[in-house]
């Protein structure tokens, strides 16, 4: 017992010192030189991914200098109206890459290479991989300003550290940055599930309790949770998940859990430590968290068990966390949640298994109507072919073949890897077809189709009702910061609202007297901005062209006198 209780401290100590070896002498330069206050930490649960970096607050404004945390060279620059927006990647000599996302603008050589590339490709969205040594930076050198571009919804710096070789995201909070954190994780609830030996949850066999903070750690009412005997099976058992968040100093923001340990009857059974998340497996967050609690109730249940196919490298102690049980058992549960600074919270309770019959059904989805993780499957009729790869689902999913023409799986069930939908149609292929899937929240997801021998096909990462459609609607363009009747302007900035009803915007270009000029597209505000270079004067034809993903085009043309 004593041994298991001191384990968490021991672990935190060991791993800090092992990461210490990759910190350069004198430490890293801060990426931003205002107090490092986090609005999000590494490993936070997000839709379809873990948060792969930390978000530093920037006082609700843009334009702070961004500093290279160490000497190095710029290895990648990307400009996109989505995701990371304007982002810079810097490779450092000790084998890590630092990433600075949502920048408002670039500086120096980074800025000039982006402008040249945008001119050459006649595109705002560019991705550049400078040669090694092409853009060298000294430790603490400024290369960009903080911003709010891409999918960012408020000004901040999204900062990542990656392993240069594997590109796996590493937890920046173990690299010695001056981030104050004296607050322990907050445990809010605990859930007990009936599980198969593979860690799959039996439907409707779980129970939830609220966790309350007491003098000696968190507790549940009565210090015990009683479960029915039929939660137990011959080869499976039970598992627990804990609704837990963390906060750091200086901000009220809810952050994510770093580490946890589950001890059952004095034996350490399962652990999580979120030091490294590869991009290939980040979507397994859908299996790590209680997906339904997250999507319906925004609760942050971290499972203390894993399914056989969950490839996240964040788990410890080798097992899958399934706790063996029999009717009449009393199991002593100790849960420890901790952060990188060693702040920890504990939750202790007993699981009491009632007397009675075990569940005779010793597995899930054993008949052929189930799509099983680890198995591929094809469903087909005269007009449809649905091909599922081995990594489509996280848990067995019952499929209903009778609705195959209009619906696949369940909209509320997450998908790990895209599956293929093939729809037979006599429609002539004119490049305008797409497949639409309606998600659990009613959102329409559109997939561009390919056509072959009478079949349209597309790949979907969503289950739900689907249909083959044609997009014949052109994008829309409206003036934003000036009247549509404008014939002259002295303004240095012109903005237009652009949109597209179905497949979405693929390209946008501005021509003045036939010459291409850079416009910046902000997808979240659905507008494009033209910052007029000082040389443009006099009466000119201004043409804005917007094209959607199936090639429908809209043009806005007007003669404007630039003053």
Which stretches of the chain bind Zn ion, using CB under 5 A? 55, 158
Give yes or no for a contact between 32 and 72, defined as CB atoms under 8 angstroms apart: no
Q: Which is nearer to Zn ion, 162 or 433 (CB)?
A: 162
The least CB distance from residue 44 to Zn ion, in Å, is: 9
Closest CB to Zn ion: residue number: 158
At a CB cut-off of 8 Å and minimum separation 6, what does 146 contact?
A: 32, 58, 62, 63, 64, 65, 66, 102, 103, 104, 155, 156, 157
Smaller CB separation from Zn ion, 158 or 302? 158
Least distance from C-beta 159 to Zn ion, angstroms?
8
Smallest distance, Zn ion to C-beta of residue 102, A: 8
The angle formed by the CA atoms of residues 230, 236 and 237, to the nearest 5 degrees, is 60
Residue 55 Cβ vs Zn ion, minimum distance, rounded to whole Å: 4
And the tokens for 316? Answer: 């410890």
Q: Who contacts 380 (Cβ-Cβ below 8 Å, separation ≥6)?
A: 386
As measured in angstroms, the least distance from the Cβ of 26 to Zn ion is 27
What's the closest the beta carbon of residue 53 comes to Zn ion, in angstroms? 5
Cα(379)–Cα(400) distance, rounded to whole angstroms? 10
CA distances from 6 to 9, 340, 344, 490, 551 (A): 6, 16, 11, 70, 63
Classify strands 414-424 and 384-388 as parallel, antiparallel or unpaired: antiparallel
In angstroms, what is the minimal distance from the CB of 35 to Zn ion? 18
The least distance separating Zn ion from the CB of residue 51, rounded to whole angstroms, comes to 6
Q: Are 198 and 362 in contact (CB under 8 A)?
A: no
Closest CA to 244 of 103, 338, 313: 338
Instruction: Give the number of other Cβ atoms within 10 Å of residue 420's Cβ.
Output: 14
**Residues 110 and 144 sit within 8 Å (Cβ to Cβ):** yes
Q: Which is nearer to Zn ion, 158 or 502 (CB)?
A: 158
Nearer to Zn ion, 150 or 189 (CB): 150
| Alpha-carbon gap, residue 264 to 147, rounded angstroms | 47
Are 266 and 254 contacting, i.e. CB atoms less than 8 angstroms apart?
no
Q: Which is nearer to Zn ion, 151 or 476 (CB)?
A: 151
Tokens describing residue 200: 């799959």
The values of phi and psi at residue 328, to 5°, are 90, -10
Tokens for 291, please give them: 């997906």
Min separation Cβ 150 and Zn ion, Å? 10
| Nearest residue (CB) to Zn ion, 55 versus 275 | 55
Task: Return the number of the residue (158 or 209) whose C-beta is nearest Zn ion.
Answer: 158
Q: Which is nearer to Zn ion, 158 or 201 (CB)?
A: 158
Q: Report in angstroms how near the CB of residue 38 gets to Zn ion at its nearest.
A: 10
Residue 523 CB, shortest distance to Zn ion, in Å, is 17
In the complex with Zn ion, which residue's Cβ is closer, 44 or 471?
44
Distance of closest approach, residue 158 Cβ to Zn ion, in angstroms: 3
DSSP state of 472: -
> Quick one: 274 or 372, whose CB is closer to Zn ion?
274
> Which is closer to Zn ion, CB of 158 or CB of 289?
158
* Structure tokens belonging to residue 363: 């597995």
Question: Would you state the torsion angle of the CA atoms of residues 14, 190, 247, 158, taken in this order, to the nearest 10 degrees?
Answer: 80
Q: Which two tokens stand for residue 221?
A: 């009412």
| Of 257 and 322, CB closest to Zn ion | 257
8 Å CB contact between 228 and 358 = no
- Tell me the CA distances in angstroms from 532 to 145, 355, 525, one per residue in order: 21, 78, 20
Would you say 563 and 537 are in contact if contact means Cβ atoms under 8 Å apart?
A: yes
Count other C-beta atoms under 10 Å from residue 209's C-beta: 18
Q: Which is nearer to Zn ion, 55 or 198 (CB)?
A: 55
**Residue 6 burial by Cβ neighbours in a 10 Å radius (0-12, 13-18, 19+):** exposed
Here the tokens at position 404 are 């195959």
* CB 386, min distance to Zn ion, A: 35
């Amino acid at each position: 017992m004593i041994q298991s209780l001191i384990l968490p401290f021991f672990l935190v100590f060991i791993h800090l010192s092992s990461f210490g070896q990759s910190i350069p002498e004198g430490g890293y330069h801060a990426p931003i030189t205002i107090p490092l206050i986090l609005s999000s930490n590494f490993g936070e649960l997000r839709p379809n991914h873990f948060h792969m970096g930390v978000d530093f607050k920037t006082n609700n404004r843009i334009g702070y200098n961004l500093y290279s945390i160490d000497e190095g060279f710029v290895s990648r620059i990307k400009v996109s109206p989505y995701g990371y927006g304007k982002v810079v990647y810097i490779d450092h000599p000790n084998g890590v890459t630092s990433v600075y996302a949502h920048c408002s603008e670039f500086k120096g050589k980074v800025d000039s290479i982006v402008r040249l590339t945008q001119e050459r490709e006649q595109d705002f969205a560019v991705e550049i991989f400078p040669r090694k040594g092409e853009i060298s930076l000294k430790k603490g050198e400024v290369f960009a300003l903080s911003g709010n571009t891409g999918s960012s919804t408020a000004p901040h710096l999204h900062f990542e550290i990656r392993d240069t070789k594997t590109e796996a995201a590493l937890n920046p909070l173990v690299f010695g940055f001056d981030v104050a954190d004296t607050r322990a994780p907050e445990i809010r609830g605990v859930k007990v599930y009936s599980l198969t030996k593979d860690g799959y949850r039996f439907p409707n066999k779980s129970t939830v309790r609220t966790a309350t903070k007491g003098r000696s750690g968190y507790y549940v009412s009565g210090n015990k949770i009683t479960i029915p005997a039929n939660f137990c099976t011959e080869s499976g058992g039970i598992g627990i998940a804990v609704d837990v968040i963390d906060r750091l100093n200086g901000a009220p923001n809810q952050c994510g859990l770093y580490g946890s340990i589950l001890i059952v009857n004095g034996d350490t059974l399962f652990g999580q430590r979120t030091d490294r998340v590869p991009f290939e497996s980040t979507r397994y967050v859908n299996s790590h968290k209680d997906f339904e609690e997250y999507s319906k109730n925004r609760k942050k249940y971290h499972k203390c068990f894993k399914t056989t196919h969950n490839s996240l490298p964040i788990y410890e102690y080798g097992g899958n966390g399934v706790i063996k049980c029999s009717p009449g058992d009393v199991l002593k549960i100790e849960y420890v949640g901790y952060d990188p600074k060693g702040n920890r919270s504990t939750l202790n309770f007993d699981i009491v298994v009632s007397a009675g019959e075990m569940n005779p059904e010793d597995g899930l989805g054993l008949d052929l109507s189930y799509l099983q993780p680890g198995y591929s499957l094809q469903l087909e009729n005269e007009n449809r072919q649905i091909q599922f790869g081995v990594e489509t689902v996280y848990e067995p999913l019952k499929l209903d073949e009778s609705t195959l023409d209009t619906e696949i799986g369940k909209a509320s069930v997450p998908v790990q890897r895209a599956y293929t939908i093939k729809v037979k149609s006599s429609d002539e292929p004119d490049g305008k077809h797409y497949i639409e899937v309606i998600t659990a929240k009613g959102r329409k997801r559109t997939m561009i189709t390919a056509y072959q021998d009478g079949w349209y096909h597309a790949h979907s990462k969503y289950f739900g009702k689907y249909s083959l459609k044609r997009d014949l609607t052109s994008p829309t363009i409206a003036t934003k910061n000036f009247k549509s009747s404008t014939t002259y302007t002295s303004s240095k900035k012109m903005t237009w609202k652009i949109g597209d009803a179905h497949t979405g915007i693929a390209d946008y270009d501005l021509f003045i007297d036939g010459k291409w000029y850079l416009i910046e597209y902000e997808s979240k505000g659905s507008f494009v901005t033209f910052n007029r270079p000082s040389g443009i004067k006099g009466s000119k034809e201004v043409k804005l062209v917007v094209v959607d993903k199936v090639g429908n085009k809209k043009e806005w043309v007007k003669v404007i006198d630039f003053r």
